[in-house]
Amino acid sequence: MEVDAQFVRDVLEFGGKTLKKCYQCATCSVVCPQSPEENPFPRKEMIWAQWGLKDKLLKDGDIWLCHQCNDCSEYCPRGAKPGEVLAALRAKVIQEFAFPSFFAKILLKPAGIVIYFAIPILLTLLYLAIFNPEIPSGEIVIGNFIPHLHIELAGFAVGGWALLVAAIGAFRFWTAINSEVSKVYEYKLEENAELNVVKSSPRFIECLFWSVIDVLKHSRFAECGTSRYRYFAHLMIFWGFIILGVATLGDIVYLYGLGVEELALPLSDPVKILGNIGAVLLILGSGWAIVARFSDERIGYGTYFDWIFLSTIFAVGVTGIAIEALRYAGSVAAYYAYLIHLILVFTLIAYAPYSKFAHVIYRTLAYTWAKSTGREPKK
Amino acid sequence: MAGEILVIGGGIAGLTAAIEAAETGYDVILVEKNPYLGGRVSQLNKYFPKLCPPFCGLEIFFKRMKSTPKLKYFTNAEVLEIRGEEGNFNVKVKLKPRYVNENCTACGACREVCPVEAPDDYNFGLKTKKAIDIPSIMAMPFRYYIDDRYCNKCGECVSACKYNAINLEEEEKIIDLNVASIIVATGWKPYDATKLDNLGYGKFKNVITNMEMERLASLNGPTGGKIQTMDGRDIESIAFVQCAGSRDENHLPYCSAVCCLASLKQATYVREQYPDAKIYIFYIDIRAFGRYEDFFAKVKADENIELIKGKVAKVEEKDGKLVVTAEDTLTGEKEQREVDMVVLATGMQPAIEPIPGIEVDEYGFVKPKPGIIPAGVAAMPMDVASANESATGAALKAIQVARR
């Protein structure tokens, strides 16, 4: 067991600044609605983090079962805020498992915001220099400015990259959480009364399926007490993304399936309606979360890691709606808004495996692991 | 009225300070807001670690008081304000009417006829009293008093009293005292357990506080000393919840210093009455300081007393029983125990109400300043033995000022 003092400093810096106040009374483990009966969390995580037991924490699926309801922080007699510490630990885990790790280290520091925006801005400038698209005159049609094909190719490239990096992180994470404490054993009595230890099947597919259902329904999130709003805000953002994804698929079907030439769709078009619902959910959900973070410290004060992700989502939603509004207004500003929107979308997708966005994967896998090892709270 | 030393509070610390100072020859005035002396200690069943009742100690004190003419005391008295400075304080004291004078022989005829039942604060509402009653069988002064929050002045008691001891027309008086130094021994009150919303106090009737346990176990308590659930059942299992409100930023941020030993002591009460009862003590740390370690070791050796390291954070009711949950931090398992009764080891909160001229710190404990000396729990949480020592020290300080 190795003690990593730098890890402790990192956790403090990532928002776990109250970590050292914990005196191990374990109130948190009992008030947490997500915590299982055996080896409950987050009390053990608090002492592991205080001691710098990085290895144990990287292999700990439990920190991903926390939805930061902050019931623990609310009842904590010491103001040690386990909810905040676990959020900091999750950020640290994302950074450790992301590939390449040094890039995650840069992006997750506030100073990294320069790189965060420099990459998409430079890429955009490069594109503009090479293809030199002109601002079209007449009716505002985005596709006349930058061809859909270019967007699609860029999308595949950036999305593909993100998926690859995320897959590496997911693999590392899954291996880690199944490596030690979480091993599932079955014992078989062999001849001569020898006990044979067999690793039981983690029933991956089955557990993953039910985990995805849980995620879609937010059923675990719904058990939170102190930050009840989080459930609603998160549900809105989550379904906002899904609906936008479906709308994007609709666009592709229009372009390549139905031969629609231009996506300057009227407001009454079903795909447009879907897109607008998604955008509104995204803006309202993230806006709510932003306002709530300012109005009540009990629900978490947010860290750079948290803020950059939340603001990016909000900004993507707002610029998306702005393009549409400017288009209907007939303003050429729509084209500029489009460029800004593209830059923001790039940061959201390309950095997903390094940002808070990665929790989609880590949490789903942790759910799967929890189901396969019976680490679900008693009802 | 002039004296040399004023002692505010007639609990164990105030009595000690007043008697010690008076026995050295100084004029001491003791004021107590309750109608009786003895304070919290008089509500206790036994002291730790010797497990002797507080009666004997109090009795010795009362005897010493009677043979010390230099000590005058007022019950039902409240200090309104303190002016002046070290060596020359002017203190305004309100004497609330007792409505019962020295003629009272405590025969109890008034109590028989009194039609008003009222909650008995001395027993934390675990039983009722009459509007005219005696605080306890150990009350000093041993006289009845009328609780005017409840009395409807019907006059039944006046006609029943053969000694002409009751005067319903008695009015409150304000007196002025001039003293050289002041000992503040205002003591403590139990922390309001209803604020601990996850521990079920006020929600489940068999969740009680440690002070209520003292009354239950006391021979002069509501059950005559029988420890039982609020619905009258015997105890098969019981859980003590340590740090109920203490060492908690949301409640009392400090350690109340006595609750660990008090619960260990109360475990012995239960053991004495129920040799087979299961007793669980849930704790964060057992703070049995100094020589109290031996007492802790003795209680711990009882195989039916289980000490579980982990704070109870949930109390639920299930089929008429209470279920407490904590994480045992030594094993990392969530532990649940089904019990008949839960005793919350609630901490000590300073009892002093704001008095102009007395400064308190952020938690409400009295701050010393020239001529004003806190003693006992008014200064900080402590056990009875420490309160005695603190009070004796305070008496010396007060004498130093009075001699100048």
Number of domains in chain B: 2
pLDDT surpasses 70 at A197: no
At B256, which CATH number? 3.50.50.60
pLDDT score of A289 = 92
Tell whether B95 lies on the interface with A, counting CB pairs under 8 A: no
In a shared domain, residues B206 and B319:
yes
Residue B164 resides in a domain: no
In the predicted model, is pLDDT for residue A379 greater than 70? Answer: no
Q: Of the residues B348, B363, B379, which one is the last residue of a structural domain?
A: B348
Please give the C-alpha separations between residue A311 and each of A155, A240, A345, B106, in angstroms, as whole numbers.
Answer: 21, 15, 12, 76
Please state the domain extents for chain A. 5-97, 101-373
Residues B381 and B261 occupy one common structural domain: no
Q: Distance between alpha carbon B181 and the CA centroid of its chain, in Å?
A: 25
pLDDT at A188 > cutoff 80: no
The token duo for B308 is: 């579980």
Q: Which residues of chain B have pLDDT under 70?
A: 1-2
pTM as predicted:
0.91
Six token digits for residue A162: 């993100």
pLDDT at A198: 55
pLDDT of residue A138 exceeding 80, the answer is: yes
**Chain B residues inside the 8 Å CB shell of A28:** 313
Across A292-306, b (16+ Cβ under 10 Å) vs e yields: bbeeeeebbbbbbbb
B255 in a domain, yes or no? yes
Q: What is the pLDDT, as a whole number, of residue A202?
A: 65
**Which residues, other chains included, contact A288 with Cβ-Cβ below 8 Å and sequence gap of 6+?**
A229, A232, A233, A236
pLDDT at A258: 86
Domain assignment present for B315: yes
- Contact between B205 and B231 under an 8 Å Cβ cutoff? The reply is yes
The minimum CA-CA distance between B197 and chain A, rounded to whole Å, is: 10
What digits encode the pLDDT tens for the residues A218-251? 998 888 888 888 899 999 999 999 999 999 999 8
More confident residue, B161 or A191: B161
Q: Is residue B213 part of a domain?
A: yes
Cβ contact (<8 Å) for A26 and B311? Answer: yes
* CB < 8 Å to B198, chain A: 31, 75
Instruction: Write out the residue range of the structural domain in which residue B216 sits.
Output: 191-348
B337 touching chain A per CB within 8 A:
no
Is the model's pLDDT at A301 over the cut of 80? no
Give me the percent of chain A exceeding a pLDDT of 90: 69
CATH code of domain A5-97: 1.10.1060.10
Q: Are residues B199 and B331 located together in one domain of the fold?
A: yes
Question: Which residues from chain A sit within 8 angstroms of residue B328, using beta carbons?
Answer: 26
Of the candidates A110, A89, A10, which has an alpha carbon nearest to the alpha carbon of residue A46?
A89
Q: Does residue A55 register a pLDDT over 80?
A: yes
B210 and B337 share one domain: yes
> Out of A143-147, A362-366, B70-74, B246-250, which region has the weakest mean confidence (pLDDT)?
A143-147
Residue A200 is predicted with a pLDDT of 55
Whether residue A182 has pLDDT greater than 60 = no
Q: Write the CA distances from B327 to A26, A280, B1, B334, B342, integer angstroms.
A: 6, 43, 59, 4, 17
Q: 């730790």: which residue's tokens?
A: B48
d(CA A152, CA A129): 19
Residues of A in contact with B244 (CB under 8 A): none
Indicate if B80 and B217 belong to the same structural domain: no
Query: Which chain A positions have a beta carbon within 8 Å of B326's beta carbon?
Result: 26, 30
CB B324 within 8 A of CB B344: no
A206 phi, psi to nearest 5 deg: -60, -50
- pLDDT, averaged across chain A: 90
From the list A25, A31, A44, which residue is nearest B332 (CB)? A44
Query: In chain B, what is the straight-line distance between the N-terminal and C-terminal CA atoms, in Å?
Result: 20
Give Cα A81 to chain centroid, integer Å. Answer: 21
Q: What are phi and psi of B128, to 5 degrees?
A: -105, 165
pLDDT single digits (tens) B183-223: 999 999 999 999 999 999 999 999 999 999 999 999 999 99
Q: How close A19 gets to chain B, by Cα (Å)?
A: 15
